[in-house]
A and B are shown apart, each in its own frame.
Chain A
Amino acid sequence: MTSTPDLLHISNLHKSYQAPNQSTHWWPRLFNTASTSQIKAINGLSLSIAKGETLCVVGESGCGKSTLARLVMGLEQPDQGHINYQGNNISGLKHKQRQDYRQRMQMVFQDPYTALNPRLTVLHALVEPLLYHQPQLNRQNAIDQAMAQLLAVGIDPALAQRFPHQLSGGQRQRINIARALMVQPEFIVADEPLSALDVSIQAQILNLLAQLQQKQQLTFLIFSHNLAAVEHMADRVAVMYEGQICEIASREKIFNQPQHPYTQALLAASPQVYQAPNSHHKLVGDVPNRIPTQQGCSLQDRCPKAFETCRHQTPKAIEMATGHQVACHLVADPTSTDPTNHTQAELEQGDHHDSSH
C-alpha cells in the first residue's frame, strides 16, 4: 500500500440491506422465500479526509449517513469498496486486527442517553476502557485519569458517581465525548452529535468540540442535518443524498456558491432567524424509499430542474474547481467539450442570477 496524505480515504463504497418482504402472498411472507429486493444504503461513495480537518456530511434522514458512520467505525462491513486509514485498508478486518485502529478512531453518538449503559456510573463508564486495554493499570491511577478527562470536557467531578438518567442531555453528551477521548484517539466520527440537544446546549457542545480539536489535534467526521452548526464548524462539507455524495467542497463554496440543486434546496429550507425562508429552491415530493427500480439520477423525481438526461443517466462527480466536486448533469465539466452540457450549464447559471436577487 502506498501512503497517502489523507487520514481516511473511502473509495467506491457499497452497502445494501435486505428490504422487508413486500410480497402480497402469505406463503412467501411466512417462510421468507420470495426474492427480496435490496435497499442500497451506500451506493458507490468516495470520500477522503485530511489529518486535522473537520469534514461535515450533510443529508436528510435515510440518506445513509448513519450507515456510513457505522461502516467507517467497523461496526458493519461494506459489500464492496475500501476504507483506508493512513493508507491501510481497514474494512473487513477481524476483531484482533481491528483492535489497533479501534483506539485511534472513536465515535460520538446521536442520542447521548442510549449511548451510555444505564447501569454504569459516569466514573465506571470512563474507567472501563482504560482498565480493559491496560489491565496492569492501578485502579486509582485510572480513576485519576477519568477525573482529569471529566474536567477537560467541563463536567464537575462531583457528578462522577451519578448514573446517566441523573444527568441532563448536555452533560450526557459531554460524558460521551469524554469516554471517546479516554483511549486517546486521533480521529472522531460524530453522528448527529447535536440533534438531541437543546439550542443553548448545542452552542456549548460546539465550543467544546472546537476547543478539543485545537488542543488535541483531532480530525473530525461529523454527520449532521443542522446546516447552521455545519457552517460554523466545518472546514469542508459533503452533501449526501441516497447513499452518494452529490456535492463536496470547502465550507465557503457550499454556503456561498452551491451548485447541486439538492444543496440549494437544503440551504433554502434551513430555518433562519433573520431571513425569511426562501421558497425558490424547493424540492417536490418526499424522500423516496430506496429500492433501486429506476435508472438515472436519484434526485430526478424531486428535482425541479430535472430534464431528459437525468432520467437515463446517473451523473458522475465532476471536479468544478479544486476540491469542489458536483454530481449533476446541470453542471458543466470544465474538461469536457460536450455541447449539450454547456447549454445546461448556462441555463443553470442564468437560474442562479435570478435567485440571488
Chain B
Amino acid sequence: MTSPLLKVTDLHVNFISRWPNEPNIDVLRGVCFELYRGERVALVGESGAGKSLLATSIIQLFDSSARIRQGQVTFEGQQLTQLKPKQLRQIRGRRIGMVFQDPMTNLNPSLTLEQQLLECILSHRSISRAEARLVALHKLRQVHIPAPEARLQQYPHQLSAGQRQRATIAMALALEPALIIADEPTSALDVTMQAEVMSLLTHLCHSNGVALLLITHDLSLVAHASDRCLIMYAGQIVEQGPTSVLINDAQHPYTQGLIKALPQMSSPGQTLFQIPGQMPVAQELGNHCAFATRCEFAHDRCWQQTPTMPTGNGHRASCHLLTAAQAGDE
C-alpha cells in the first residue's frame, strides 16, 4: 500500500474570539482524511460546514484569527503544520496549486496574463523567461483557450468569465503541482460554462497525474467528476467513500437527505423531501451528534455521545445507526 499524498489527522481549527470572555470554539472538529496521488476527491458540504476553512488550513492560508489547535497535516511526508512560513511558500503553488471561486479576484486586474503566468512560473522554477513563456502557452492550450499568444497580452477583464477561470486553472497547472485544491471552481460560472470547466479540470488533473481536492456544495456537480467523496457537516467529515458507491448507497442520514432533497428526486408538483432546520453554528454544538437536531432517526444515543468514524478504507460513515446495525449483525 502506497503512502497517501496528503493525510489530515484529527485536525481541529478554531477562531480566536474577538470578545475577551468568550471561549474559542472549534470550527473544524477532528477532521481526518487521506488523499492519494492522482486521486480526485470531492469535499461536499453546505456553507458553514467548514469546507473552505479545511482547504485553507491545509496550506495555512487562512485568516489571521484562525488557528490550528490540534492535529496534523502531512503532505509528501512533510508536516505542514510545523513548517516555517518560507518553507510553506515553497509548497504553496509549487506543490499544491489553488483554484478559487471567483476568477476575477483570483487574477490581478492590472497585470496581463503573461505577466501573471510568468511571475508565477519564474518565482518557483529556475528556467529562462522564454522557456517559461513556452510553458505558459502550452498550459493555456491545454485549457482550450483560443489564440493563446494573443490572450497572453490581454488583461483579465478582457477575457470572459469562463476563460478567466480556465486561465487560473492553467496557472495552477503550470508549476506541475502534486495536488490542486479547487474551492467552488465553477459556482461563479453559467451552467453551460460550468460543465465545460468542470470536465476540463478533472480531465487535466487526471491526464497530468495531479491529485484534485474539489470543494463544492453541489453533490450533483461532482457525482461524475470525482473518484472519492467526503461529506462534511458542522466541521466534521460524516461520510466518505467512492463517489459512485456513496451516491447510490448513502449511509449517513444527512447524505441521504441531501440526495433525496434534490428536485430531480421527486416528480414535479410533489412536496420535496426536506431536511428540517439548518446546520448548527459552532457555538451550539454540544457533546452529541451534530446532525441529531435535524435527523429523523435520532434516538437517545445520538444525544448522549458523538459518533465516531469507523477506521478503514472503504465507504464509511459516522452514525450511531450504522454502528448499532453492525453490532446487530455480528
Are A and B in contact, CB atoms below 8 Å, in the complex?
yes
List residues of A whose CB falls within 8 A of some B CB.
60-61, 168-171, 198-204, 206-207, 210-211, 225-229, 231-234, 251, 265-266, 268-274, 276-277, 279, 282-283, 286-287
B271 interface hit (Cβ, 8 Å) = yes
Are A203 and B192 in contact (CB-based, < 8 A)?
no
Cβ A273 vs Cβ B191 within 8 A: no
Are A269 and B219 CB-contacts (below 8 A) given A199-B261, A231-B264? no
Residues from chain B with a CB closer than 8 A to the CB of A229 are: 263
- Given A60-B190, A61-B190, A287-B190, does the pair A272, B220 have CB atoms closer than 8 Å? yes
A227→B161 CA distance, assembly (Å): 21
Answer yes or no: B163 CB below 8 A from chain A CBs: yes
C-beta contact mask, B215-236 vs A, less than 8 Å → 1, else 0?
Answer: 0011111011000000000000
Q: Which of A171, A198, A268, A272 touches B264 (beta carbons < 8 Å)?
A: A272
CB of A200 within 8 A of CB of B264, answer: no
Contacts A60-B192, A199-B217; is A286 near B163 (CB within 8 Å)?
A: yes
- CB within 8 Å for A274 and B223 given contacts A266-B191, A266-B192: yes
Report yes or no: B162 in contact with A199, Cβ–Cβ below 8 A: no
* Contacts known (A169-B47, A232-B266, A251-B268); A200 close to B190, Cβ less than 8 A: no
Q: Which interface residue of A61, A204, A276, A286 has the most chain B CB atoms within 10 A? A: A286
**Counting CB contacts under 8 A, is B258 at the interface?**
yes
Cα distance A199–B279 in the bound complex, in angstroms: 12
Query: Binding site of A, secondary structure by majority: helix, strand, loop or mixed?
Result: helix
Residue B115 lies at the interface, judged by CB distance under 8 Å to chain A = no
A233 contact set on B, CB distance < 8 A: 263, 268-269
Q: How far is the CA of A234 from the CA of B269 in the complex (A)?
A: 8
Query: For the side of the interface on B, what is the size category?
Result: 35 or more
Are A203's CB and B275's CB within 8 A?
A: yes
Q: Which of A170, A211, A277 contacts B195 (CB 8 A)?
A: A277
Known: A171-B278, A273-B223, A286-B162. A232 touches B191 (CB 8 A): no
**Chain B residues, Cβ within 8 Å of A287:** 160, 190, 193
Cβ-neighbour of A200 out of B220, B247, B257, B268 (below 8 A): B257
| B194 CB-CB contact with A under 8 Å | yes
Which residues on A sit within 8 Å (CB–CB) of B199? 277, 279
Binding site for A on B (CB under 8 A): 46-48, 160-163, 190-196, 199, 217-221, 223-224, 247, 257-259, 261-264, 266, 268-269, 271-276, 278-279
Supposing A170-B278, A232-B272, A286-B160 touch, asked if A265 and B192 sit within 8 A by C-beta, the answer is yes
Which of A199, A225, A227 has the most chain B CB atoms closer than 10 A to its own CB?
A199
Nearest first, the 8 closest Cβ-Cβ pairs linking A and B are: A232-B263, A203-B261, A286-B160, A60-B190, A198-B46, A269-B195, A228-B263, A271-B220
The minimal Cβ–Cβ distance linking A336 to chain B, given in whole angstroms, is 30
B190, B196, B261: the one contacting A225 at CB < 8 Å is B190
Known: A282-B196, A286-B160. 6 other contacts (CB 8 A): A207-B274, A226-B263, A227-B191, A228-B220, A231-B268, A287-B193
Chain B neighbourhood of A283, CB < 8 A: 192
* Cα–Cα, bound, A168→B218 (Å): 18
In the complex the two chains form, is A201's CB within 8 Å of B192's CB? no
For residue A256, give the distance in angstroms from its CB to the closest CB of chain B. 12
